[in-house]
Amino acid sequence: MTISRKEQDLLQRFDVAYERSQTQVMRAVERCVCGCDYGGNSWTTQREADELASILQLTPASLLLDLGSGSGWPGLYLSKTTGCRVSLVDPSETGMCFAAERAVQDGISDRVSTMVHDATDIDRMSVKFDAISHSDLLCCLPHKLAVLRACRKVIANGGRMAFTVISIPPGLGKVQYQRARESGPEFIECELEYAAMLEQSSWRMIDRRDITGRHAETCHRQISADQENREELIRLIGPTAFAERQAVWDKNLEAITQGLRRRELYVAEPLLD
Ligand SMILES: C[S@@+](CC[C@H](N)C(=O)[O-])C[C@H]1O[C@@H](n2cnc3c(N)ncnc32)[C@H](O)[C@@H]1O
């Protein structure tokens, strides 16, 4: 699938974020915000990753696909805590390199594989996965239905997929909708509700949870952690980028508190052919 300019720009921004995420200050901030320091870029916290392990029923016998896994969060953590094998997939070579290094550091490289791939291409894989996870991936790409269809092709019978996603709540007026869109993430808009997309891609939704409240709490922690590490962050990225970063967190929080954004967790099983 060809990648648009907008997608390329976003992927470049992720690359920069993965480089920076390896610095001491970014790792300290991440530990305050989400509890781990894998260089994560989603709003997934350690508590949510633990929930994913249970929802996906991961054991040492499971083969997990963590799609859009960046530098390995939460796939590496899930492998470390449950013993499952994991395939990490992301178009970011930088992210995949850091993930492979972390797997070695954590002593789990024998059960981890990394692939620089687009999520829409995974249906070419011959392997079937017992579990699939993706964290705030679908709001970072335009071809959401294609990704859900590709996931359906590589899930084993009896397997499960769980994912979080940020979206615009239905029923907003024109002005509110525009503000929700501008508050991001880049590809927050979707033509269909996720429940309908799951149905169209031959998935049966078995759970759907609104986790917007937690998203707000994580945002608050992000703002405080940035302030606590202000001096070092400014040394790393400069005062302008620091101010821009704060403005992004503030805009996120404002969008949540004004009901312009929601974050949800979906769990689905494959509909049998
Ligand atoms: C919100 S980040 C999540 C990263 C990581 N899983 C985490 O939880 O921190 C979204 C990730 O999706 C990746 N991504 C964007 N477009 C993609 C695509 N078409 N296929 C696979 N991954 C993609 C980005 O490179 C980025 O690493």
pLDDT tens-digit map of 202-237: 999 999 999 999 999 999 999 999 999 999 999 999
Q: What is the mean predicted confidence (pLDDT) over 173-178? A: 96
> Within its chain, how far is the Cα of 242 from the centroid?
23
Distance 182 CA to ligand 1 centre (A): 20
- The span from the CA of 67 to the CA of 193, in Å, is 20
Ligand 1, CB within 6 Å, residue ranges: 11, 14, 40-42, 44, 68-70, 73, 90-92, 95, 118-119, 135-137, 140-141
Nearest CA to ligand 1 atom 22: 68
Residue 258 pLDDT greater than 80, yes or no: yes
Cβ neighbourhood burial of 24 (10 Å; 0-12, 13-18, 19+): exposed
Within 10 angstroms of residue 12's Cβ, the number of other Cβ atoms is 12
Task: Give residue 50's pLDDT.
Answer: 98
Atom of ligand 1 lying closest to residue 74 CA: 8
Distance 231 CA to ligand 1 centre (A): 29
Distance 135 CA to ligand 1 centre (A): 8
Task: Give residue 53's pLDDT.
Answer: 98
The CATH code that applies to domain 5-268 is 3.40.50.150
Nearest CA to ligand 1 atom 14: 68
pTM over 0.85: yes
Distance 92 CA to ligand 1 centre (A): 8
Distance 16 CA to ligand 1 centre (A): 13
- CA-based R_g, the chain, Å: 18
Distance 3 CA to ligand 1 centre (A): 14
E-strand ranges in 179-261 read 203-210
Pocket test of ligand 1: the residue of 41, 134, 263 to mutate, having most ligand atoms within 8 Å of its CB, is 41
Query: How close are the terminal C-alpha atoms of the chain, in Å?
Result: 26
Task: Give residue 184's pLDDT.
Answer: 82
Atom of ligand 1 lying closest to residue 119 CA: 20
Q: How confident is the model at residue 65 (pLDDT cuts 50, 70, 90)?
A: very high
Residue 3 pLDDT greater than 90, yes or no: no
Distance 173 CA to ligand 1 centre (A): 30
Q: What is the mean predicted confidence (pLDDT) over 47-61? A: 98
In the block, residue with structure tokens 């709001």: 139
pLDDT tens-digit map of 79-124: 999 999 999 999 999 999 999 999 999 999 999 999 999 999 998 8
Atom of ligand 1 lying closest to residue 141 CA: 16
Distance 137 CA to ligand 1 centre (A): 5
pLDDT tens-digit map of 125-143: 999 999 999 999 999 999 9
- The span from the CA of 185 to the CA of 214, in Å, is 17
